[in-house]
Amino acid sequence: MMLKLLSYNIRKGGGGREMQISAVIRSCEPDLVILQEATEPAVVERLAAETDMTSWGARHGYSLGFLSRIEVREHHWRDLPELRRPLLEVDLGEATIFGVHLSAVHSNWTERRRIRELRALLASIETHRDKFHVLTGDFNTLAPGELLDLNRLPLRLRIAAWATGGRVRYKTIQMMIDAGYIDGYRSLSSDPGFTFPTWDPHVRLDFLFLPGAYRNCVDACEVVFDAPLVHEASDHFPLFSKIKINK
């Protein structure tokens, strides 16, 4: 089975931009969409109808939701005390997909918070370690070797970064790698792959991870820059992947 997976932060619930978001999703023809900032179930329901998805899931105030045109055996949210945004688990039977949305803001203080969140998240899915599974979503952090130009941040975010030491010491993605996961995008491309913001892309915040044993299952992983209305739909470009399901 080849799973076409889209991860998409639709910004502040997506209300009023359903047409634009749907156009982006339809252009990718995904089997499953993991949404971030999908805080309004009514919006997610409309997106499902407009993209011909047969099932969907969202909870009011919860960031993570999904749309699917393939059978979903079950889904639920893991509301861990350490997570500001509950982890979404989508069971497809042959694979489990986890939707992730870590805390935002570029600063050393928030990076430490993301590390705590990720540590709790990985502990909660420990039973999946030796099984085929995927983690995807908005990690709100940078990968090792990737740089942030603080001058391109809004003033309030520049102040937050400088107030906690200026140079942000990003460690969250390295934690994923140390835990045995591969960065799906980086495993296939050396291009920057910036996903944010759509009007001035300069950081890669959106990721796809698989256990290292399944690195050859990533058939494609790319940022969707050229979909219709993608600049109007959200402040993030979506991340589109093709993954060979391997039990």
Mean pLDDT of 191-205: 95
Mean pLDDT of 102-124: 93
Which CATH superfamily is 2-244 part of? Endonuclease/exonuclease/phosphatase (3.60.10.10)
* Secondary structure (3-state) at 203: strand
Local confidence band at 155 (pLDDT 50, 70, 90 cut-offs) = low
- Judged against a pLDDT cut of 60, whether residue 165 lies above it is answered with no
Closest C-alpha to 22, from 173, 244, 228: 228
* pLDDT cut 90: percent of the chain above it: 85
Amino acid code (one letter) for 116: R
Local confidence band at 108 (pLDDT 50, 70, 90 cut-offs) = confident
Domain range summary for the chain, segments of one domain joined by +: 2-244
- Judged against a pLDDT cut of 90, whether residue 77 lies above it is answered with yes
Local confidence band at 9 (pLDDT 50, 70, 90 cut-offs) = very high
- Judged against a pLDDT cut of 80, whether residue 180 lies above it is answered with yes
Measured CA to CA, the distance from residue 240 to residue 181 in angstroms comes to: 18
List, for residues 80-89, the tens digit of each pLDDT value. 999 999 999 9
Mean pLDDT of 148-160: 60
Local confidence band at 219 (pLDDT 50, 70, 90 cut-offs) = very high
- Judged against a pLDDT cut of 60, whether residue 110 lies above it is answered with yes
User: How high is the pLDDT of residue 160?
Assistant: 59
Mean pLDDT of 191-208: 96
User: How high is the pLDDT of residue 151?
Assistant: 62
List, for residues 30-57, the tens digit of each pLDDT value. 999 999 999 999 999 999 999 999 999 9
Query: Where do the H-state alpha helices sit in the chain?
Result: 18-28, 41-50, 108-124, 155-163, 172-178, 184-188, 230-233
Residue showing tokens 């979909």: 227
Measured CA to CA, the distance from residue 99 to residue 228 in angstroms comes to: 25
